[in-house]
A and B are shown apart, each in its own frame.
Chain A
Amino acid sequence: MHEYYVTEEIIRIACETAKQHQSPVINRITVVVGELTGIVSESVEFYFDVLARDTAAEGAILHIVPQPVSRLCRHCQSEFHGANAWVCPECGEPGELIKNGREFYVESVDLPD
């Protein structure tokens, strides 16, 4: 997977935000990662320590919030969960829409007061 690329982008976005607020330091970065992105959090954490060096993000806490998959049945509108649950448990209809699980964004950045 491309966690290296992804981690660079997280740091870029966080540092841009810090700069906009004239902060040379970042305390914490919160990112939301949907289960369907296939991104491995441990790899992002691993690269983060290396790539954040000599940036405002150095030493920051990287908080990764996993977002589980949830689907909405097109047929009966009931909501159900599980990355590999495709068939609606209520009515057995296939082809559910994904409601959650594809999220992939930097939610917030904590700067010193």
Chain B
Amino acid sequence: MQIKVIRDILEKNDKSAEHVRRLCRERGITLINVLGSPGAGKTSFIQSMLEHLPGKKYVIEGDIASTIDAEKIARMGVNVVQINTGGACHLIADTIYDALQQLTPEAGAIVFIENIGNLVCPSSFDLGESLRVLVSSAAEGDDKPHKYPTTFQTVDLIILSKCDVKDVIGFNDGYYRQGLRMLDLEDKLLEVSFRTGAGEQELADYLTTKLAYIKKGL
């Protein structure tokens, strides 16, 4: 006897993500999921936004092991929760729900989630975020949109970091942008250097506007 099932294999996580989304809506919290390869500049991006964005901010740090990034954030005087996945290649919504209970962010706050350094897996797991950001560094090379299209396609904003090293790397802007254009994502790109500070203010302004739209439910 064959039973028709048709159930999504990631249904459990999707359900938890809905719980997170509801919690954030009720409490007026904006959740930002930050994706990117190991060393792309995810922590640097979060640190920069902690400095540049107005209002109350919190951070959830995801790492396979260690508390290095959480300590960096805590030293800035920002409330942070560390999640260690102990090997898992991505964060799941359940642990975000628990982390939010622990952080108890005040109404109107922004909560950043630094996902596990991995350009593939985290993109499959909805965390209940209202904005998904990809930090893609020039140091990784100009072919990344061509090679990891699926990840690029799931994000709302693409930050090309380490633009100060483009020349050293031999980064071809045209080829990178061609990859984005192919995926119809070129208008989601912002370029920045967390070393020189070039583009940081523009990035903060852009995010402020974007978050205001999200809050209005647009």
Contact = CB atoms under 8 A, between A and B. Distances in A.
A9 B90 contact: no
B182 A95 contact: yes
Instruction: Classify chain B's interface size.
Output: 20 to 34
B124 to A, nearest CB: 7
7 nearest A-B pairs in the assembled complex, by CB-CB distance: A95-B184, A86-B182, A94-B182, A106-B5, A109-B3, A105-B8, A110-B2
Instruction: Classify chain A's interface size.
Output: 20 to 34
A86 B9 contact: no
- Name B's interface SS: mixed
Given A5-B88, A94-B182, A110-B1, A86 B149 contact: yes
9 contacts: A1-B120, A6-B10, A86-B183, A94-B181, A104-B8, A106-B6, A107-B4, A109-B2, A110-B1
- Name A's interface SS: mixed
B3 A17 contact: yes
A99 B4 CA distance: 23
Nearest to B12: A9
A10 interface: yes
